[in-house]
Structure 1
Amino acid sequence: MSEKNHNTEPILDSETISAQVSEILNSKDTLKKWYKYLQLGRSLDLRAASYLKKGMGWSYHAPYQGHDGIQLALGLTFRAGKDFLFPYYRDMLTCLAAGLTPEEILLNGLSRDTDVAGGGRHMSNHFAKPEIRIQNGSSLTGNHSLHAVGVARAIKKYNGDEIAFYSGGESACSEGYFYEAVSGASREMLPVIFVIQNNRYGISVPVKDQSANPIVAENFSGFLNLRIIYCDGTDVFDSWRAMQEATKHVLDGNGAVIVHADCVRIGAHSNSDNHQLYRSPEELEKAKERDPLPRFRNHLIENKLLTEDELKAIEDENEAELAEAAPKAEAAPLPSPDSVMDFVLPEYKPVEGEVHELTEPEGDPSLYTDEVIKFLQAINFTQIEEFERNENTFLWGQDVASKEKGGVFNAEKGMLKKFGNERVFNAPIAEDFIVGTANGFCRYRDDIWVLVEGAEFADYIWPAMEQVVELSHEYWRTKGQFVPNMLIRVASGGYINGGLYHSQNVEGSFTTFPGLRVLVPAFADDMQGLIRSAMRTKGATVILEPKFLYNHPWAKTKRLKKDVLIPFGKARYRRYGSDLSIITYGTTVHHAMRAADRLESEQGISVEVLDLRSLIPLDKEAIFETVRKTSKVLVVHEDKRTGGFGGEIAALIAENCFESLDAPVIRLGSLDTPVGFSKILENAILLNDQKVYDEALKLASY
């Protein structure tokens, strides 16, 4: 189909537009309102560049000129405080029309502490107002599409009449997660509208280098249950028509819509881009000819819809509004450097239950039943308890809801039958989609907790890592206005003869993201208490489950009584000793304990074993206490030695306990190789009791 067939030419003939648009043409109040937003937005866009030149802020500015029609229509279609709007960095006019004031736009651009998006914590030109459901989006182009799909899923689950709006450029459509978002929205028939603002350039990369189809929405024409609506994004009337068609389609229960808006980029991509290096003067001049603002203004005058005096009055009113807003924004306080640690992790405040630290080798017997359970049973039983306790809990992942299967390891056994497919359901093999939609789902109401199996095995989590990074700084980036209540469970580690994609440890990566809790329990009772904490406390938690322990007798314990919680950031002594400390977590806790027993019985060496349980937050005081007690420390973990979390522990000890040490801090990890499939190779690569014994004996003799 030619571009002309997709409304790339101006459509201002009243015979070709909808009856609703015809009504607008006869409504002076509406036309004045539209012109007010268009002209006010343009003035703000130009001021952004001037602030940059003056060195006052807006160090990142992506002008929206040439997108005016679709941005006005999108912003006015959004129902503030009801719908969910996920804008992108070029959506200044969208957000102005959706409910941000000029002062709030300026506060964001100037990175002031009172910026309603997040107090200057995010890049300028990333407009948001969570209070009215304009979401604080990422700079990762297009990844908010998954968040829009996630909240749309929640809307449908709760039978709501809200709409999720995604807005982005055509280049973001090249991302795999955008395809996952559209695929999921069409398959589930979700109330989400994807607005694609196609200006034909991704910075300097032309659309022909992005897509075989210059009209990128056509790439999605084969998706079932997906309607695609085309419009001229420079034409306010045609854009309004398209948005009204899209909202009606969604509100009628017909599923997702893509609105493809043909736009033009009049300016450069951003202030750091010189578009004259790749665009000809002729092309730039032709782009200016499609400038929506003067075209709309001329249309109003030529068709005697508004007079020159009426338009001038609107412009004067806008200038007065900006003249009042700008000094206020400029005088607003800058963020305090003392605030940087605020909102990294939510405070540990479980919604209910009794918190017991359980830091001793033998837990308080009054907190346990007489039933002995396996590590895997602890996961299954506790998940069921949490779903019974809070009806606003949901679970999805791969293979978790296939009749009686209940996950590849049976951790979800019986949950589908007990709680139904509305709360427990399968996800496609798309890890980005699993984690990203969970982030979005949490936004619908603050008493929702989402539990996901992030991947079948930890080795497959990497496609989701961009979403893991995203959710890790949601709380900080929004200055505490939003935090995803999520628990990501991942089966981790080796010793199962699993080979390269079933034996990996990933804590060395996860612990580098501020804002995530990272837990690695080694016993059934710890698993119970920590899951309960994760499902009753605000924030995102990752539990890395040593799958070797799922059914191993080493990890068995008595079952914790209901509502007993174990807090994050508290290590547990597994064994007391005086000659040497082993600090460890996960499967190697058991290797350390067995090696310690041998060292005492065979060599008379008293070894203390400290099980960290929680890596982030980390119990530094317990680490320092055991080091100062024994003066010799061996840090042991299953992960590779290079880049493993043990390096962080060793550095902390060196910095804080140097004078207490009688020997170097020794790290013991698996070999710096991939984990081989052959059992012979796996045994050579991974740690075992003997390797821990030998290293500890050598250290004790130092």
Structure 2
Amino acid sequence: MVSNSVEKKVAEGELTPEQLIQFYRLMYLSRRTDDREIVLKRQQKTFFQISCAGHEALLVAAGMAMKPGYDWFFPYYRDRAICLALGNTVEEQLLQAVGSGEDMASGGRQMPSHWTSRKLNVVTPSSATATQCLHAIGCAEAGRYFSRHPEAAAKHEGDYREFKDVKFHGDEVVYVSIGEGSTSQGEFWESLNTASNGKLPVVYVVEDNGYAISTPVEANTPGGNISRLIANFPNFHFAEIDGTDPIASYKAMVEAVAYCRAGHGPALVHGHVVRPYSHSMSEDERDYRARAEIDADALRDPISKMQVWLLREGILDADGINRLEREVDEEVLRAADRAVAAAAPSTAREAILRHVYSEDLKPTDKRFESKPVAAVDQKDQVERTMADLINTCLKDEMRRDERIVVFGEDVADATRDQALRAGEIKGKGGVFKLTAGLQKEFGNDRCWNSPLAEANIVGRAIGMAVRGLKPVVEIQFFDYIWPAMHQMRNELSVIRWRSNGEFNCPIVIRVPIGGYITGAIYHSQSGESIFTHTPGVRVVMPSNALDALGLLRTAIRCDDPVLFLEHKRLYRETYGRAVYPGPDYCIPFGKANIVRPGKDLTVVTYGAVVPRALQAAQKLHREKGIDVELIDLRSLSPYDWETIAESVRKTNRVIVAHEDMQSWGYGAEIAARIGDELFHDLDAPVRRVAAMDTFVAYQPILEDVILPQPDDLYRAMAELVAF
């Protein structure tokens, strides 16, 4: 017979007896799925195992308090139970464990316990800890944006970009979870800042089992308690609970979700849970935990605690519990048998490479090939700088597509915009003025200043893009891109591939780059080869105004993440100015430009070296009658191999030149491929011209020696032709 305390909870609108039974069933289902994975790992039928054991009560409570396919979820690897509660099946989870080609989450590409479901709005996670906190922030911002601007979700007629159905509800909540060890990560704190400032509907769940692998909580967190550290963040709802108590967990999660759904701001539920199994099957916790401590945790096991509670409250008797558990055991066993028998992924090269980039909308497509349109207005007939045309392109595209948002450090005209609106101040619009006027024209919802935190910029943009926006963000200087590298390499580049095409992340990251400006060590760096070495990201670097506009428009309209490198020295150079080519002018990626045709020598380069190489080639022709064919790659990944090869077969000599250091630089790959595939076409060794293997100095006479100059290129050209 059901006890009076349960009847009281039912009367108060909390969990019904049927829901309590389902609650226990989901907890037990999660635990038995863990146990079956462990068996399969020992049988060498899976290759990794990490469990949710001890976290089940907190996570089932979270799942029952939220709406699958309505709310959004950014889980981490302990979150098996919430995914089961949302509607993920045991078979789906075990298909990932065995690495099957039938695995809907990743097609055998991602490790087990990396939950993914487009249908349930469970966004593909990585193994990196806390990165997902910023994605959740961006997702919440996108949801809010769509609720304020429903027109942005409408499909644009003739839109180049692949359109994903954008559903928004106005009161959706975003869930994100981490372990207590991950609260040491900078992305966690950066996300708290933005969630608090923006009063965003994000529910954080900190699953505190006391250990980050072998490191106890007191070594990670000052005072050993994250709740005490974050208590003063404004606009937050906080709850610290016993996460092994199902009733307390459910009550806390319902309150947290209601607070967020009502628009009051973010919430954080800090649940103290246990870890009855080792961190993963790759280690043994008995190496660093005392027996007495392990035994004490066992007494708090949420499975045992809820089973006893159900019996005590008269919700289930012993026969009922045994029957439920037998049914679960059979369900898990059947799912495991099907998963083990499922087909392995294809090992065909084309299958492995599928979804590294967009399959539907490639920036190399001919649809992005167009010719400039003759200007009608007299003001558009004036040649303009690269900076001018980049600004014009941004405005064109923001007028065309309401999904485009622009943010970064100092990109807005004025955050305190009353004086701007009153015409009392001009506005900033970026340190190089390339975003000037965007906030004034499109408003604070579409152009704003971020915190001074590069990971925050890129991480939020990832969440926005996953949710359906098109962020075009700015990293103020390439020299400061490195805090965002984690987000770019481990998240941005691989989201499409690791989710087997279920999720995509088409953002544009604009970055001023390069030297020749006496900017010294921290304002003159190159480093493009690090990003061209990253699959999944397109990298372009224009050398003139027309290319900058055409390539940027393609970057915005395509469906891949693009790193758009803008050389600072070229922003306002006389070289490369151009007339505005119209609002639809695009240039496909992977198509080089022959700046100067020639028959005696090929020079392959890009960026600020292009005008320097052109100067050297013209001088060589005047003085020695030598014709240099100068190729501007424009697009670094992909690059135009066909144009390079055709030119080398014609001239039989080649120099690869770039501004970055010579050793391990971008040119090494081009040189190696020429040597590999065009060896018999060469009449001389492949030559490289690049910067010295050191840092860029501030003193102009030092910078001139360190970076490649026209005279360096001239000498290399003359020597190679004479070889």
> Does the aligned pair in 2 maintain the 1:348–1:537 contact within 8 Å?
no
Q: What is residue 645 of structure 2 aligned with on the other side?
A: 624
Deviation at 1:17, TM superposition (A): 13
Q: What is residue 570 of structure 2 aligned with on the other side?
A: 549
Aligned residue among 181, 186, 189 for 2:199: 189
Give matches, 1:207-606, under 5 Å.
207-338=217-348, 339-347=351-359, 349=361, 355=367, 357=369, 370-403=381-414, 404-445=427-468, 448-453=469-474, 455-469=475-489, 470-606=491-627
Q: How far does the alpha carbon of each residue in 1:384-422 deviate from its partner, in whole angstroms, 9 at most, with x for none?
A: 000000011100000011331000000011111110001
> Does the aligned pair in 2 maintain the 1:354–1:565 contact within 8 Å?
no
> Does the aligned pair in 1 maintain the 2:662–2:691 contact within 8 Å?
yes
Q: Matches of 1:42 and 1:438 in 2, distance apart?
A: 35
> Are 2:43 and 1:43 aligned?
no
Q: What is residue 89 of structure 1 aligned with on the other side?
A: 77
Q: Matches of 2:182 and 2:4 in 1, distance apart?
A: 34
> Does the aligned pair in 2 maintain the 1:378–1:528 contact within 8 Å?
yes
Instruction: Point out where structure 2 has 5 or more consecutive residues left out of the alignment.
Output: 148-169, 415-426
What secondary structure is seen at the aligned counterpart in 2 of 1:442? helix
* Higher mean C-alpha displacement, 367-376 vs 78-87: 367-376
Deviation at 1:304, TM superposition (A): 1.3
* Higher mean C-alpha displacement, 323-332 vs 652-661: 323-332
Deviation at 1:634, TM superposition (A): 0.4
Change (3 A) 1:300 1:348: closer
* Higher mean C-alpha displacement, 408-417 vs 33-42: 33-42
* Higher mean C-alpha displacement, 645-654 vs 72-81: 72-81
Letter in 1 for 2:523: H
Deviation at 1:521, TM superposition (A): 0.4
Aligned residue among 52, 71, 80 for 2:41: 52
Letter in 2 for 1:485: P
Change (3 A) 1:217 1:18: farther
Deviation at 1:535, TM superposition (A): 1.0
What secondary structure is seen at the aligned counterpart in 2 of 1:421? coil
Letter in 2 for 1:63: S
Q: Matches of 2:118 and 2:545 in 1, distance apart?
A: 39
Q: Matches of 1:70 and 1:130 in 2, distance apart?
A: 23
Q: What is residue 23 of structure 2 aligned with on the other side?
A: 34
Letter in 1 for 2:42: K
Q: How many residues are aligned here?
A: 682
Q: How far does the alpha carbon of each residue in 1:357-408 deviate from its partner, in whole angstroms, 9 at most, with x for none?
A: 58xxxx7786996331101011100000000000111000000113310000
Q: What is residue 165 of structure 2 aligned with on the other side?
A: none
* Higher mean C-alpha displacement, 632-641 vs 318-327: 318-327
Letter in 2 for 1:395: V
What secondary structure is seen at the aligned counterpart in 1 of 2:383? strand
Give matches, 1:94-105, under 5 Å.
94-105=82-93
Letter in 2 for 1:104: E
Change (3 A) 1:40 1:354: closer
Aligned residue among 608, 612, 622 for 2:629: 608
Q: Matches of 1:68 and 1:382 in 2, distance apart?
A: 50
> Does the aligned pair in 2 maintain the 1:199–1:265 contact within 8 Å?
yes
Deviation at 1:161, TM superposition (A): 1.3
TM-score relative to the length of structure 1: 0.94
Deviation at 1:683, TM superposition (A): 1.1
Q: Matches of 1:523 and 1:204 in 2, distance apart?
A: 54
> Does the aligned pair in 1 maintain the 2:21–2:315 contact within 8 Å?
no
> Does the aligned pair in 2 maintain the 1:108–1:120 contact within 8 Å?
yes
Q: Matches of 2:550 and 2:313 in 1, distance apart?
A: 71
Change (3 A) 1:246 1:287: same
Q: Matches of 2:233 and 2:458 in 1, distance apart?
A: 22
Change (3 A) 1:603 1:20: farther
Q: How far does the alpha carbon of each residue in 1:251-303 deviate from its partner, in whole angstroms, 9 at most, with x for none?
A: 11111111100011111000011111101111111111111111111111122
Change (3 A) 1:14 1:559: farther
Change (3 A) 1:293 1:514: same
Q: Matches of 1:609 and 1:366 in 2, distance apart?
A: 27
Change (3 A) 1:221 1:496: same
Q: Matches of 1:205 and 1:552 in 2, distance apart?
A: 55
> Does the aligned pair in 1 maintain the 2:455–2:484 contact within 8 Å?
yes
Change (3 A) 1:485 1:582: same
> Does the aligned pair in 1 maintain the 2:71–2:173 contact within 8 Å?
yes
Give matches, 1:11-22, under 5 Å.
19=9
Q: What is residue 139 of structure 1 aligned with on the other side?
A: 127
Deviation at 1:200, TM superposition (A): 0.8
Q: How far does the alpha carbon of each residue in 1:499-524 deviate from its partner, in whole angstroms, 9 at most, with x for none?
A: 11110012021111100000000011
Deviation at 1:60, TM superposition (A): 2.1
What secondary structure is seen at the aligned counterpart in 1 of 2:466? coil
Q: Matches of 1:66 and 1:376 in 2, distance apart?
A: 56
> Does the aligned pair in 2 maintain the 1:155–1:191 contact within 8 Å?
no
Deviation at 1:15, TM superposition (A): 7.4
> Does the aligned pair in 1 maintain the 2:366–2:588 contact within 8 Å?
no
Letter in 2 for 1:431: E
> Does the aligned pair in 2 maintain the 1:24–1:30 contact within 8 Å?
no
Q: Matches of 1:220 and 1:356 in 2, distance apart?
A: 49
Aligned residue among 690, 695, 703 for 1:682: 703
Q: Matches of 2:375 and 2:643 in 1, distance apart?
A: 23
Q: Matches of 1:17 and 1:695 in 2, distance apart?
A: 88
Q: How far does the alpha carbon of each residue in 1:22-43 deviate from its partner, in whole angstroms, 9 at most, with x for none?
A: 6546x22112211211111111
Q: Matches of 2:141 and 2:488 in 1, distance apart?
A: 19
The percent of aligned pairs where both chains have the same amino acid is: 37
* Higher mean C-alpha displacement, 125-134 vs 242-251: 125-134
Deviation at 1:356, TM superposition (A): 5.9
Change (3 A) 1:40 1:365: closer
* Higher mean C-alpha displacement, 322-331 vs 295-304: 322-331
Q: Matches of 1:56 and 1:48 in 2, distance apart?
A: 9
Change (3 A) 1:309 1:531: same
Change (3 A) 1:355 1:104: closer
Change (3 A) 1:304 1:458: same
Q: What is residue 417 of structure 2 aligned with on the other side?
A: none
What secondary structure is seen at the aligned counterpart in 1 of 2:663? coil
What secondary structure is seen at the aligned counterpart in 1 of 2:322? helix
Q: Matches of 2:720 and 2:551 in 1, distance apart?
A: 33
> Does the aligned pair in 1 maintain the 2:547–2:587 contact within 8 Å?
yes
Q: Matches of 1:395 and 1:139 in 2, distance apart?
A: 29
Change (3 A) 1:348 1:24: closer
Change (3 A) 1:312 1:356: closer
Q: What is residue 9 of structure 1 aligned with on the other side?
A: none
Q: Matches of 1:653 and 1:36 in 2, distance apart?
A: 62
> Does the aligned pair in 2 maintain the 1:353–1:563 contact within 8 Å?
no
> Does the aligned pair in 2 maintain the 1:350–1:536 contact within 8 Å?
no
